[in-house]
Amino acid sequence: MGFIRPLKKRRVWYPDALAPVFAALLCIAIYPIAKYESDRDAPDRPQQAGKPVTAYAVAAHIAGARVAVLAGDSRTAEAHVQAIAHDVARSARVSDASRPIAHEAARTAVRALPGVRSSVWLDAANFVVMVDGARNRSMDMIDRVCVALQPLGDTLAVVVNLEDVTAKNGDAAEVLSRNCQLRKGGRAFMQAKRQVEVIAPEFRQTFKAQQTRKAL
């Protein structure tokens, strides 16, 4: 009877056992990129909405949620899911209804800005700020107003309208408007454009064209 060699036990590869390790490594690799994407809004500049959600940021949150679930940390997992929902909402220009800006607090916040005379709310979205001089009727002033409002709530729900109280002609008196987090002319989801000026810009341009033709 010949000698029978005992069978060697094969090592079994358990990929699920290392899933937390792989997920953690993925988080470490992607986190710097995702954090860069979320930190591009500098503290001295208005927050920006309407930007597409990046795959890096979503992947980082999904990986983070997976690690948290495997670790039994439901609170952190939920935070990652909420972060994805927040990014998607901002990309779709949907303002956060749970963070409305108190009107009186907003007026107090902008009162200290150089060049601001006074302010008033026309409705829930349109914030009119009267400024002193043409130099203060600018997009930079709108940026400063929006940054001052950021600690109070979600500025995506706010349209700032600047009016020069020292204007001497129709062009200088034209109201400069912009949503805090969007480009000029952009509005948040379900946010209607309101005619703030007494004389619409279209009528003003028509009148100027008529005056020019008469002068010729």
Q: Where are the domains of the chain?
A: 15-91, 103-215
Residue 182 φ/ψ region, left for φ over 0, alpha for ψ in the -120 to 50 degree band, beta for the rest: beta
**Separation of alpha carbons 160 and 141, rounded Å:** 10
C-alpha span between 90 and 104 (Å, rounded): 25
| pLDDT tens for the 216 residues of the chain, in order | 555 565 555 554 444 544 555 555 555 544 554 444 444 456 678 888 878 877 777 788 888 888 888 888 888 888 888 888 888 888 889 999 999 999 999 999 999 999 999 999 999 999 999 999 999 999 999 999 999 999 999 999 999 999 999 988 877 888 999 999 999 999 999 898 887 765 555 545 554 554 455 555
Predicted structure pTM score: 0.68
Give kind and range of the element (H or E) at residue 85: helix 74-91
C-beta atoms surrounding 136 within 10 Å: 21
Distance CA 205, CA 211 (A): 10
